[in-house]
Structures are given as C-alpha cells and as structure tokens.
Amino acid sequence: MPQNVVLQGPAPWGFRLSGGIDFNQPLIITRITPGSKASAANLCPGDVIVAIDGLSTENMTHNDAQERIKAAAHQLFLKIER
C-alpha cells in the first residue's frame, strides 16, 4: 500500500536512487544518508518511488526523476511503496 512522505526543504534530501524507465526498472531508493531528511522521514533502501510531487514515475527516466527532485525547493512530496 503506497504511503506519502513529505521532506521539508531545502535540499540535500539525503538519499540515492536507481532505476527509471530507461533502465527498465522502477525508481528505487538505494541509500539513505544517516541523519538526513530522508532518514528522519523513515525512508529505507528498497523503497520504490511511485510518484514525485504527485507525478507518477511509471514512465519517468532516471534523469527526469533527478531533475524533478532537484526542482523541489521547499518541500519534496514522495509516494512510496515498501
């Protein structure tokens, strides 16, 4: 069941991701920086990002996802599945 996570900005958010439609893989969080905003929001390696700021990641390339995350200045809204 998807859950919504809100990270308060500004960046850095404190996570790395892999995947994207260009890799034929879902966007997955691969690393969390200890003490980061992502860590405080209880994000975990292996979480699948299904939406960024309300936009589905289903057809998003890795670079598109990175650019959308970078564009979030004050808050980053993620919908994730564990």
Closest CA to 5 of 61, 68, 51: 51
Determine the Cα–Cα distance for residues 48 and 51; give it in Å rounded to an integer.
Answer: 9
**What pairs with residue 6 in β-bridges?**
77
Q: Could you list the pLDDT tens digit for every one of the 82 residues in the chain?
A: 899 999 999 999 999 999 999 999 999 999 999 999 999 999 999 999 999 999 999 999 999 999 999 999 899 999 999 9
Closest CA to 4 of 81, 59, 67, 72: 81
Domain boundaries, the chain: 2-81
Determine the Cα–Cα distance for residues 21 and 13; give it in Å rounded to an integer.
Answer: 22
Determine the Cα–Cα distance for residues 48 and 2; give it in Å rounded to an integer.
Answer: 9
* Residue 1: predicted pLDDT: 87
CATH number of 2-81: 2.30.42.10
